[in-house]
Amino acid sequence: MLSNTEENYLKALLYLTTDEAGKKEAGTNDLAAHLGLKPATVNDMLKRLKEKAYVSYKKYGKITLTRAGRDIAVFVMRKHRLWETFLCEVLAFSWDEVHEVAEQLEHIQSDKLTERLDKFLNYPDYDPHGDPIPKPNGKMPPRATTLLSSVAIQQSCTVAAVKDTSSVFLQYLEQLSIGIGTKIRVMEKISFDGSVILQVGKEKITVSEKFANSLLVD
Amino acid sequence: MLSNTEENYLKALLYLTTDEAGKKEAGTNDLAAHLGLKPATVNDMLKRLKEKAYVSYKKYGKITLTRAGRDIAVFVMRKHRLWETFLCEVLAFSWDEVHEVAEQLEHIQSDKLTERLDKFLNYPDYDPHGDPIPKPNGKMPPRATTLLSSVAIQQSCTVAAVKDTSSVFLQYLEQLSIGIGTKIRVMEKISFDGSVILQVGKEKITVSEKFANSLLVD
DNA sequence: TATAAAAGTTAGATTAATCTAACTTTTATT
DNA sequence: AATAAAAGTTAGATTAATCTAACTTTTATA
Ligand SMILES: [Mn+2]
Ligand SMILES: [Mn+2]
Ligand SMILES: [Mn+2]
Ligand SMILES: [Mn+2]
C-alpha cells in the first residue's frame, strides 16, 4: 500500500502531465515546485516510484506515469473531489475551504467508503469547482474547455468550472454572486487591457482579462 | 501538530488508564501490547511525548497523561466516535466494519469538519457500539456500567453498549437480532457454567457467561 | 560552436518510527 | 532474603522522507 506521500507525488504527476497544467511532460523541478520540495528530494522519491513501477523515465529525462501509477493517481483524485463535494453539499463548507481538508481525506483507504460516499452524494459528475469526478472505472466526465475570455460579444454562457481555485479568486467570485451554473452575458470587450464587461443577473460588472481567463463556461 | 502515531499513543494511554481497561496505570508493556509494538519502540516514543509534556512518568515508573495529553486523546476519541456514527447512520456501514475506517478518519485535522459533522449527525451522545461521544468541552455522556450477567432473574433491561467490539461478537449479536436498544429479559441462570437464558422478542436464547459479561445494559 | 544557465543527480546529514539483542531495575516466588 | 521472572531501558541498526551542498548533464544563447 502506498504512503500518503507517494500518493501525493503520483497525483502531482497526473496534474502536471494532463491538460490542466498545459504541458504533457514533467521534470524533477516541476514536481519539486508543485509539491513545495527540493529537487534532490523529488529525485530520491522518483527512484523509489520507478522501482515500484509507478513512474517511468530515464536519467535526465522526462517523467511519465505508468498505467498502474496513473490508476492510483486518478483514484486519489476521485476521492479528493468526492470529499470536496461532500464538504460543500452536506456540511455546508464554502468552496474556498474544502481543498485543504480534502487533501487529507483523499488518503483514507476504504473502497467501501468511497463507493458509499459516491452513492450518498447521488453520483455527482463534477466537484464544487466544476472539475470532473473520475468514475470507479477511471473514466472522467467531459471537462469544460471554453474560456470566458473567448466568448463572443452579446453571447450568453453558463459558468462550468473555475480554472484558478485560489481562495482569493473563489471569494471574489462569491462576492460577485458568481458560481457554477451562473448565467453570464458578455456585453463588451475593452481592447486597451482586455477587460470584459459582463451582465450577471441584473448587474453589469467589469472584470479583468486575468479574470476572464480563469473561468470556464459552456 | 501531532503525528498520527503520537495521537495513537495518547489514545491508547487514555484507554488503558480509564475505566474501560480496568486498571488506572499503564506501563511500557501494556502500551506495546495494545499498539502491537515492541516495548523498546514504546520506550523511545514515551521519551518524546514526555519531552513535549503530553505524558508524565519517571524511569521504571508508571505512565500517566498530562492535562494536555488527555485533552488531545479525548478529542481524537471524539472524532473516532463521530465518524463511526457517520459511517453507520449515514453510509449504512454495519457496526463491525466502522472501526478500521474510523482509525484513519480520527486523525483528520479540521475543527470545522468535526463540529459540522457533529451538527449534521444531530449531536449524538453515543456511537454505534454504545460508547459515549465526548463533547467539544471534553465532557462525556454517562457510560452504562451494568453487565447483563449481573441482571437478576425475571428482570428486563435494554442493551446500552457492547464491552467487546470484536467482529465475531458484533456479527454474532447481529445474527441474534440484538443491537443497542434491544429489550432483553433474563429468564434463567445456569449455575453449572454461568450460561444465561434470555428472552429477546419472541425468541428464547441461551448465551454463555462470556457473552453475558460482554453486554452492558440499562 | 563555445560557454553560461537550467535541470537533474549524488553524497552526506537529519528526524521519526520502528526493530533486535543485550542490559538493568523492579516485582514476585520460593 | 535470595533468586527467578517480569518490566523497563539502552545501544545499535533500518527505512522513509526530507534537507544542503556539490557535482554532472542537458539546453539555451551569445
Ligand atoms: Mn494529499
Ligand atoms: Mn476541486
Ligand atoms: Mn488511529
Ligand atoms: Mn466505537
Q: How far is the CA of A69 from the C1' of C11 (A)?
A: 29
The reply to whether residue B105 touches residue A108, judged by beta carbons under 8 angstroms, is yes
- The topology (CATH level 3) of A146-217 is SH3 type barrels. (2.30.30)
At A20 the pLDDT is: 63
| All three cell numbers of B12 | 491508547
CB pairs under 8 A between A and B: 38
Is the Cβ–Cβ distance between B126 and B133 less than 8 Å? yes
Q: What is the mean pLDDT of residues B71-86?
A: 98
Nearest to A101 among B90, B101, B113 (CB): B113
B76-142 and B146-217 share one fold: no
At A41 the pLDDT is: 98
Closest chain B residue to A109 measured between Cα atoms? B101
The minimum CA-CA distance between B38 and chain A, rounded to whole Å, is 22
CA A170 to chain centre: 13
For the structural domain made of A76-142, what CATH number should be given?
1.10.10.10
CA angle B1, B5, B11 (to 5 degrees): 90
Name the pLDDT band for A24 (thresholds 50, 70, 90): confident
The amino acid at B151: V
At A21 the pLDDT is: 62
The closest nt to A39, taking CA to C1', is: C8
Name the pLDDT band for B25 (thresholds 50, 70, 90): confident
| All three cell numbers of B54 | 503530553
At B19 the pLDDT is: 67
Residue B136: closest CA among B68, B75, B80? B75
DSSP secondary structure, B188-206, as one string:
EE-TTT--EEEEETTEEEE
Chain segment A32-45, per-residue pLDDT in tens = 999 999 999 999 99
The dihedral formed by the CA atoms of B123, B125, A98 and A135, expressed in degrees to the nearest 10? -110
Q: How far is the CA of B144 from the C1' of D9 (A)?
A: 39
Chain segment A106-155, per-residue pLDDT in tens = 999 999 999 999 999 999 999 999 999 999 999 999 999 999 999 999 99
The closest nt to A48, taking CA to C1', is: D16
Is the Cβ–Cβ distance between A209 and A195 less than 8 Å? yes
Residues of B in contact with A118 (CB under 8 A): none
Name the pLDDT band for A25 (thresholds 50, 70, 90): confident
Based on DSSP, count helices (H) and strands (E) in chain A, helices before strands. 8, 8
Protein residue closest to D24, using CA and C1': A60
Asked if the C-beta of B140 comes within 8 angstroms of chain A's C-beta atoms, the answer is no
At A19 the pLDDT is: 67
The residues of A between 45 and 104 with beta carbon within 7 Å of nucleic strand C are 46-47, 57, 59-62
Q: Where are the domains of chain B?
A: 4-65, 76-142, 146-217
Could you give the CA distance from residue A5 to residue A209 in angstroms, rounded to a whole number? 37
Name the helix (H) or strand (E) containing B47. Answer: helix B39-51
Could you give the CA distance from residue B41 to residue B45 in angstroms, rounded to a whole number? 6
Angle subtended by helix axes A28-35 and A39-51, to nearest 10: 110
Helices (H), A52-150: 67-89, 98-105, 111-120
| All three cell numbers of B149 | 450477567
At B47 the pLDDT is: 96
pTM comes to: 0.94
Whether residue A23 is predicted with pLDDT greater than 80 in this model: the reply is: no
Closest chain B residue to A118 measured between Cα atoms? B91
Residues of B in contact with A117 (CB under 8 A): 91
Is the Cβ–Cβ distance between A131 and A162 less than 8 Å? no
Name the pLDDT band for A160 (thresholds 50, 70, 90): very high
Give yes or no for CB of A6 within 7 Å of strand D.
Answer: yes
* Residue pointed to by grid coordinates 524511569: B59
Residues of B in contact with A87 (CB under 8 A): 113
| All three cell numbers of A59 | 536519467
At A167 the pLDDT is: 93
Asked if the C-beta of A116 comes within 8 angstroms of chain B's C-beta atoms, the answer is yes
C-alpha of residue B122 to centroid of ligand 4, in Å: 17
Q: What percent of chain A has pLDDT over 70?
A: 98
Q: What is the mean pLDDT of residues B116-136?
A: 98
Whether residue B168 is predicted with pLDDT greater than 70 in this model: the reply is: yes
Could you give the CA distance from residue B53 to residue A161 in angstroms, rounded to a whole number? 47
The amino acid at B213: N
Structurally, at CATH architecture level, domain A4-65 sits in Orthogonal Bundle (1.10)
